[in-house]
Structure 1
Amino acid sequence: MRGRCRCRRQAVRGFSPLTFAVFVVFVGLAGCGGGSDGGSAGAPISGGVFAGGPQNPIVGSTITFFAAGAAGYGTGASVLATASSDSSGSFNIGAYTCPSAGTQTYITASGGNPGGGRNAAIGLMALTGQCGNLTASSFVMINELTTVAAQWALAQYIDSTGQIIGTSLTNLKGLNNAINLTNNELLVSYMLSDGDPNNTGVPASFLPTAADCSSGSPPINCDGLERLDTLANVIASCVNSSGPSSTQCQQLFCGATPGASWNGASCSVTPTPDDTLEATHAVVTHPTSNASTIYTVPPPPGMTLFKPVLTSGPADWTLALNYTGGGLNGPLGIAIDASGSAWVANNSTDSITKFTSSGAAISPAGGFIGGGLNNPLGIALDKVSNVWIANNGGAINGGPKGHSSVTELDQNGSPLSGPSGFAAANLTSAVGVAVDLSGLIWVTDNGGNSVIELCGSIPEACPIHSPSYNTGDVISNPSYTGGGLNNPAFIAIDSLNLVWVANNGFGGGTGSSLSELCGSTIGNCPAGAHATGDPISGANGYGGGGLLAPLGVAVDRSDNIWLANTGNSTVSEFCGAVTANCPLEIPSLSTGDPISPAAGYSGGGVNSPIGIAIDSAGFVWVANSANNSMSELSSSGSPLSAPTGYTDGGLDGPAGIAVDGSGNIWLSNSRGNTVTEFLGLARPVKSPIMGPPQAP
């Protein structure tokens, strides 16, 4: 929950405005960047660059003021102005032209003298928000904390040097959301010249205080605060050292080089980074590489530390935040809308929760209700960003079973379906829901061993029928069966509009399989499937590849199918309908053949997985309910996360999982009644998702 802005570090309390006339990163909040309103004169701004918090001014640092690029990820940034820091670490940026009012900007600081001599290894960054929001009273602080926060949250928008920020013209919103998240959840982002300096350069009020984290019952987000501080201290150790050849910098650069090893005195290879910006970016984009080496970089004697810090070395350098409120109670399904907001189905209270892209709860304390919500499980969004929910109809708060249905809400959470929902007469126990490329709605009926199809929010896209179909009308009559449907769980759509279903099977996974049905684009269905809903897979479905009691199912960018197996804690992959995209190293693969080995893919912490999501580059993300972790697999099934998985961010019974347009990963915590967001870890995905994942 959010709180008031307050001072959090003892090291900051001696900060005097007479000593340091600089303050904090300014991040504008309005609008989407990259407008074409033409160039205009920018307001002069001032700031300062410091090492290890506002204690040591960095003198003679080269200050570069950038406009973020819009020609692709990590490219196209342009220099607006340059300056140099003076003997107090202060700098002024005068004449420059804003490319547009909405263009995102940032500042880097390179080199300089933090007090012990010039250090060419210094590379720091601060986000400065939308160009048109900067005024003559905007002050910018650049230090290690602003650097690590920017690198974590914007990891997918920054090049390998750590200096160039850019996005695509079609994903300006993703970049803006990532910057707003940095401002709202990680750092105090700006203050006017008459503000209190003690409230600048410290974590945002969303995060707990150092005192909170030293209490007997520390809040969940202490882990995030401690990770910020710990990595900032590692970077500061190099910044405050004698230079690139110092032990601090050499150990950091070695640890930031994947595949390298540090023996206590030297690196096994020539390190790749040559400054702290490049090293920080390498650390956050290769979070499991040399985590211990990075953690043990020794601070120079007398260096002031950011606090609180991790008390033991992390297994990885991921950063995750934990959100509460908005009616979360037994959260399961989770989905992202076009604005980057997250929608969550609350299985225990017949409600839906909505969070902004920055993690603020929009829904009321009891969540959004009505429209037939009853034991909601799966959730999806359509082309007009209406929300569709599969209601299982189980015994909720002592209520009777048998009220399964489908609910539709608008973007404000208001019900569009009636009090009983849609399709109540056609469902026994709905579980999964997906929206196809035509905007039609597909729902699995676990109790009926079937799938139903509904008319979506745009009736004109529904099949011709007399009388005409209206939103929520059932198209499948009777329900679709066959193809191995057996206690079907979740459901996904491929690029050909074909329908794929994970069949959990009976107790112990007996009869579990993958089903394929002809979708609403009948011309894409193979011979023998003549109508929408016809089974394409055989009577027993597709099997093998380690498949056992799957729940989650996802389609990758190659149209291959991935499933999360709760029965044996593995992940399975199957060749999809576009067989040309199946691995060439496995000869003669046909649709439905397993790509994963007989035992499935394992490792990386996979343990009783429920939800599965795939990003736009093909990386696979899995929510593990048994060990409270998230796993990452490569597109070939190799584990990339640590053996325990990624475990920070208060994960507690993670179930649903989704990737947003900023590259953040959202998970619902079914036992903890919270939502966890891993920052900048995945490749951005266009939302809402319909068909395979696409880059925004």
Structure 2
Amino acid sequence: MNNRFTSSSLTRGMFVATAFGLLMSTVGCGIGGGGADTAASTQVAAATPAWGNVHGGQQPVTGAAVTIYVAGVNTPGSGTGYGSGAVALASTTTDSSGAFNFPAGTYTCPTPTQQAYIVASGGNPGLTGVNSNITLMAALGPCPAGGNLIATVPYIDINEVTTVAAVWALQQFMAPPATGNVGAPQIGAPNTTYSNGLSGGNAMSVQSAVQGMNNAFVTAKVLADVSTGLSPNTAYNAYATPETAKINTLADILSYCVNSDPASSAHCQNLSNATTPAGQTTAVDTVQDAWYMAQNPINNLTTLYGYISGSGTPFQPYLGVPGGVSAAYFNDTTIAINYAPLGPNTLRGVANANDFALANASDVAIDMYGNPWFVNRAQVAAYNGDGLVYTTYVDTQSISELGVDGSVLVNQIASYTPSTTGGAIPLLTTPPAGGSRSFGAFPGDLAIDLTNRAWVTNTIDYAGSYNAKVGTTVVGVGSVGIFPGSTGAGTNAIGGNANLTNGTGYVTGAQPFGIAIDGSNNAFISTNATPASNVFEGLSFAKMSATDGSGYTVATGNAAGLPTNGQAFLDIDTNPSVTGGLVWAASPTACAVTGQLYSGTNSTTDYGLISQYSGSTAAALGGSEVATSLSNASTGAGTTGITGNCGATTDYVGQVASTSFANPYALAVDRNNGVWISDQFNATTKSGFDGLTYLSAATSSAGSIPSSYYIFNGVLPTSATASTPAVGVAGTTLTAPARLAVDGNNNVWVTNSGNSSVTEATINPSTGAITFLTPGQGTNPIISGTTKEFGNNTAGAYGVGFLHTLATPTGIAIDPSGNVWVANQSNNGSLAYTASNGSKPFTGYSTTMIVGAAAPVITPKALAVKYSKIGSKP
């Protein structure tokens, strides 16, 4: 998000709204909290057959100017191309019933498939005068070839709910409030094309920003039904559950202004004062108010909530007062959708079986067109057909793909057939026989290559044994599965591979875990098995061509910088000092130190290491291995293997950073080639803390970390014994932080697996100040590269991150629309929620998408790496 401000103190307590059925007729009710003007109820017949109506709440708005626009698709000039280029097609005015119509032939879409939206401005909401502050809108979607939108959108009810749906979904493509767009919101995207640079049948290109904008129109359709003016739109996607109560809450806040007369009240001025951040252009109409609320999710929440009028509020149910620690309270203005779709599944062996597409997903990655792929690590849940009960039939692991609207493109594929001629096989004296592989109990990481295929590491591979290059019989040879990508943005299961039943792949070293793909379509893989006589290429770091599996290069053992734990997540930067950039690896619990921090007598603490590799040679860079100064690591070789200082005797600790990380979980590279690392306290290994570490980028050569910073949460443990593990007190803004993703504004998003929330943070690279951009933030203990500070955070209470319907969230990814996709890895079968269609899926069978909350990015990540656009908008 572009701007964030610390929220005012939140009022503790809860207001329970009584739900009532809404009648979408022209008969309305008075609106507006805090003494809002009351609009008289009217019911007047439309003068002509209506295409739609404009409502303030349930109250008709007469005399409003209604205009059809198509969003801009434009070449960036001196600006960014975002929020510009929109074209007005036609205008009309609402009649005495609030109805409007566009006779045939009064408008023509300039280009079929351009995205259309409709805006109503001004008008009388049933009071004594015109309210020029009214601007309401609805996202209509692509223009048909004949230009007749009535054929595809037969009726439109423009109101505050459709306005919230449109603004939140499209916020990243809207122009900020300005005098020139009062009553005329501008939507557009730059048409820059990004090509994968490959030739022949592998050549692909995409206009990432335009694709993201088009997908955002689809999301608006999921949030609200423009034909009824209500959320959710179950007629479009029965398995999508948007946060309807929050959408209603935001719509109710807008109605405080919409259903008022500025000549006799200050409601619109009050709303603009509350929504406009300090130092910004003051909002003038209700779309500008909505945009500021979407972009600044913790700004003046208590004041805004005070504009809701209770039983007279038009859209119900709505959320409770700010301050409660759950998604049922108005603690921020972000909106999420949970997708728990059903689709045909072959895993049960039952004809026409409909099973959940997701089952405790651990990771998510976005393809070229904005479709998310998932790795599932748990049971396949089967739908019994009664809309309420789900039964577990199969205990297996799989991959699946959803469309941009949450529909099923690929439903739980559990097997694939590796190539018998590519990948690591040239290193084997006896190639493996052909045949299907199944994902083991722990599928690892996920990445999308430049040909839009999904790669998944199979950490526990049921492959059998082969003869290694030295002729000895070995076991545990692993493989990666590769699955064909989609040909476009999936909507209603169109654009994907709904009938995909298998994929291909390559045999690799033992227990492949981490995977990353660079801008030249090379795949980098870390393997996890401990080196032994019966393990082929254990603890290795390998590189191969993602296009055909050729050029397999492997560095094995400790020399590769994977000292004792190859379970390493990987990420790639675009460091200009190294051809091909750097590949970063985070190895948790890599070395044990007796008597160090968090440990007591006869007890050890395990510390992780961060390593760097050449993207061109796959070699570990000399002196690049980074350890924390808290580990008693010394520069140079270790002394007694994993029981001594960090690193084995053959391992080189190149740098000891004046920062803290002990149990690194994952990492993510940002725009400046700096690296964010998540760290979580682990009572079993007596290591870590709930915090984030940031390593500044190498500025002159690889293997150099000029500075480092970190921030921690909660209370750190100080001692432990062999019989009593160290126990820490979890943080709140960060609680067992897991995977990370960097958005187009260069902010980092983190999943909190410990308290089922999402946190956003940013760093000032010149000062090292790390700031949480989440609700309820307190004073953060910033720790520089030269100062270490531990203990309780007494400076202020932390917030809880963005709370939505989440359950042990782990994987996280940003798409080209700015949506934040979160994989819910919970295996708790009792955590069910009521979906919009009345069913009760377990949260672990869903993904949560936070709508438009992040800045858009180029996807897949490999394409962003190719153009050096990590942490930047398309």
> Shared fold by TM > 0.5?
yes
- C-alpha separation in 1, matches of 2:263 and 2:404: 38
SS in 2 for 1:317: coil
Q: 2: CA distance between counterparts of 1:579 and 1:599?
A: 29
Does the alignment pair 1:653 with 2:825? no
The residue that corresponds to 2:410 in the other structure is 363
Aligned to 2:624: 537
Q: CA deviation at 1:295?
A: 1.5
> Which of 63, 83, 87 lines up with 2:92 in the alignment?
83
Find out whether 1:102 has 2:113 as its counterpart.
Answer: yes
Q: 2: distance between equivalents of 1:631 and 1:345?
A: 22
Secondary structure at the aligned position of 1:476 is classed as strand
Unpaired runs of at least 5, structure 2 = 1-18, 28-42, 75-80, 192-206, 323-329, 342-355, 379-395, 418-436, 464-474, 486-496, 531-537, 576-580, 593-597, 599-604, 626-651, 681-687, 716-730, 765-769, 776-797, 827-842
1:282 aligns with 2:316: no
How far apart, in 1, do the equivalents of 2:526 and 2:372 lie?
22
Q: Which moves more between the two structures, 68-77 or 537-546?
A: 537-546
SS of the equivalent of 1:422 reads strand
The correspondence for 2:479, drawn from 390, 401, 405, is 405
SS at match of 2:101: strand
Q: Which residue of the partner structure matches residue 586 of structure 1?
A: none
Partner of 1:512: helix, strand, or coil? strand
1:45-64 correspondence to structure 2 within 5 Å: 46-52=51-57, 55-64=58-67
The aligned amino acid for 1:596 is Y
SS, match of residue 98 in structure 1: coil
- Structure 2 distance, partners of 1:164, 1:607, is 39
Distance apart, 1:548 and its partner CA: 2.3
CA distance 1:479–1:307, change in 2 (3 Å): same
Residue 172 of structure 1 corresponds to 210
Contact 1:352–1:369, Cα closer than 8 Å, also in 2 = no
Task: Say if 2:512 and 2:525, in contact at 8 Å, map to a contact too.
Answer: yes
- The CA deviation at 1:644 is 3.1
Distance change (3 Å), C-alpha of 1:245 and 1:282 = farther
1:663 matched residue in structure 2: 818
Provide the rounded CA distance (Å) in 1 between the counterparts of 2:456 and 2:522. Answer: 13
Contact 1:492–1:553 (Cα < 8 Å) also in 2: yes
Residues 250-649 of structure 1 correspond to what in structure 2 (within 5 A)?
250-259=269-278, 272-299=282-309, 303=312, 305-313=314-322, 314-325=330-341, 326-348=356-378, 349-364=396-411, 366-371=412-417, 372=437, 373-374=439-440, 375-393=442-460, 402=476, 404-411=478-485, 412=497, 413-417=500-504, 422-423=507-508, 426-427=509-510, 429-448=511-530, 450-459=539-548, 470=549, 474-476=552-554, 478=556, 481-483=559-561, 485-487=563-565, 488-496=567-575, 497-506=581-590, 510-520=606-616, 532-535=619-622, 537-538=624-625, 539-540=652-653, 542=655, 543-566=657-680, 567-578=688-699, 591-597=704-710, 605-636=733-764, 637-642=770-775, 643-649=798-804
User: Partners of 1:344 and 1:668 in 2: how far apart?
Assistant: 8
Q: 2:648 maps to which residue?
A: none
Partner SS, residue 363 of structure 1: strand
Rate the CA distance shift 1:367–1:291 in 2: closer, same or farther, 3 A.
farther
- Alpha carbons of structure 1 residues 130 and 480: separation in structure 2 relative to 1, 3 Å: farther
SS of residue in 2 equivalent to 1:59:
coil
Write the deviation string for residues 366-414 of structure 1: whole angstroms up to 9, x where unpaired: 4453343222121001000111112221899xxxx95643221222355
- 1:159 alignment partner, one of 175, 182, 186: 175
CA 1:687–1:250: 2 relative to 1, 3 Å: same
TM-score (structure 1 length as normaliser): 0.79
Cα distance in 2 between the residues matched to 1:334 and 1:435: 15
Name the residue aligned to 2:837: none
Any conservation in 2 of the 1:684–1:695 contact (CA below 8 Å)? Answer: yes
Q: Matched residues in 2 for 1:127 and 1:392: separation?
A: 44
> Does structure 2 conserve the Cα–Cα contact (< 8 Å) formed by 1:516 and 1:536?
no
Q: Could you report, residue by residue, the CA deviation over 1:303-360 in whole angstroms, capped at 9, with x for unpaired residues?
A: 5511221133311111011122444223112100112111111123320121111112
What is the letter of the counterpart of residue 422 of structure 1?
V
Does 2:158 correspond to 1:142? yes
1:94-123 CA deviation, whole Å, 9 max, x = no partner?
523322112111121221110112212211
Shift of 1:515: 0.7
Amino acid aligned to 1:607? T
Residues 512 and 245 of structure 1, relative CA distance in 2, 3 Å threshold: farther
TM-fit CA distance, 1:635: 3.8
Q: Deviations over 1:14-54 (max 9, x none)?
A: 569x957699xxxxxxxxxxxxxxxxxxxx993221110xx
Q: How many angstroms apart in 1 are the aligned matches of 2:743 and 2:527?
A: 27
What is the distance in 2 between the residues matched to 1:599 and 1:150? Answer: 37
Larger radius of gyration: 2
Give the 3-state SS of the residue equivalent to 2:589 in structure 1: coil
Given that 1:319 and 1:648 are in contact with CA atoms closer than 8 Å, whether structure 2 keeps it comes out as no
Going from structure 1 to structure 2, the CA distance change for 1:457 and 1:57 (only over 3 Å counts) comes to same
140-149 or 598-607, which deviates more: 598-607
SS at match of 2:273: helix
Change (3 A) 1:578 1:408: farther
| 3-state SS of paired residue (2:220) | helix
Would you tell me which structure has more strand in proportion to its own residues? 2
Label 1:670 to 1:189 Cα distance change in 2 as closer, same or farther (>3 A): same
TM-score, normalised relative to structure 2: 0.63
In the aligned structure 1, how far is the partner of 2:377 from the partner of 2:47? 49
**Bigger CA drift: 642-651 or 232-241?**
642-651
Return the offset for 1:694: 4.4
How many residue pairs get aligned? The number is: 600
1:361 partner amino acid = V
Displacement of 1:626 in angstroms is 0.6
Structure 1 counterpart of 2:513, which letter?
V
| 2:130 aligned partner | 118
Q: CA deviation at 1:557?
A: 1.3
Name structure 1 gaps, 5 residues minimum: 1-7, 24-43, 191-198, 210-218, 260-268, 460-469, 523-530, 581-588
- How far has the Cα of 1:458 moved from its partner? 1.7
Residue 245 of structure 2 aligns with which residue?
Answer: 226
Write out per-residue CA displacement over residues 496-529 of structure 1, whole angstroms, 9 at most, x where no aligned residue: 4211011212478623121111112x5xxxxxxx
Q: Does 1:205 align with 2:360?
A: no
Looking at structure 2, the residues matched to 20 and 394 of structure 1 have their Cα atoms a distance apart, in angstroms, of: 69
User: In structure 2, what is the Cα distance between the partners aligned to 1:130 and 1:615?
Assistant: 27
In angstroms, what is the RMSD of aligned CA positions?
3.4
The yes-or-no answer on 1:688 pairing with 2:839 is no
